[in-house]
Structure 1
C-alpha cells in the first residue's frame, strides 16, 4: 500500500542516514519502541548495512573526512569535538555525505552529458531545471520522444556502477502533466 511504501522509505533512508529511533518514531507516527523494532528488523535482514555504517564512521574518525565515489571530500572536524551532540552530527554527516554526495555527483555528470548531447543533436531543446534526481527539458512536441530517449540513455550510462542506473522519461505540456 501507499502507507507501507511511505514507511519503508522512511526506515530505509532514515537508517542509512543515521536516524535515531526517536526521530524515526516521529516521522512514522509510532512509538519509539515500534521504531526501534523496525530498525532492529532492518539490521537483522540486512547485516551488511550495519557493517557498512560502522566502517564509514570508523574510517571518518581515522582520516577526519569522508568522500564520494568520485573523491569529492567533506572534512569532519565535528567528529573530534568535545561536544557529544556535535560528534553525533558528524557521524550522521559521515553516513549521509558519501551517499547523497555521490548521487549529486552522478546528477551533475548526467546534466553535463545531457546538455552536451542536446547541443549536438537537438539544439532547439533546452535543459532548464534539475529537481532532485530529475532533469527537466523543454522541447517541441515533435522532438519529445527523441529527447526522452536521449535523456534515458545519458542518465543510465553516465557512470558504470555495480548496480544498473535506470531512468524513465515522461513528457507533457507542463511538469504536472509529465509526472501524471
Structure 2
C-alpha cells in the first residue's frame, strides 16, 4: 500500500468515527473544526492525554485519540481529553455504544461508572452522569451495534469513493 493510499484509509476511518459520533455523514470537515481527532500507533494513556491539556484548554476543542490494535483492529481503543464544567476530563479507554433509538454513538468510559459523553447536533460535547448501561455485559449489544456500524460506514465511504483530508493531528502523528 502506498503512503497516499494509507493516508486516504486513515482519513476515511477518522471520517467514519466522526460520522458515528456526529450522527450524520458529510460533516467531517465541521467535526474536525470542533474536535481534535487523531489516529495513533499507540494506545491512549493518561500521561499522553495530559500532554494535550493546554491545547484542549486553549482551543476549547476536545481531543479524541483513536488507536487500532493489531490484535483487534475492528474495535478501536479510544481516549478522550475534554474541558467540561470548568475541569479537565481524561479518559484512557472509552467504548462506543449505539442504542437502538440513537442516530449517534456515545463514548462510554470502560468502567461504566463515569457516565458517558455525546455530541449534539451542533457537535458540542456533553457529559451525562449515567452511562447507557451499567456493566460491560449490559452494554454488549449496544457496543456490537456501534462497532458494526463503524465498519459499515467506513465500507460505504470507501465504495462511494469519498475522500477526506487528514486532520491536523493525524498529519503530525
TM-score by length of 1: 0.24
Task: Return the structure number with greater relative CO, CA threshold 8 A, min gap 6.
Answer: 2
Whose Rg is larger?
1
Q: Which structure has more strand as a fraction of its residues?
A: 2
TM-score by length of 2: 0.25
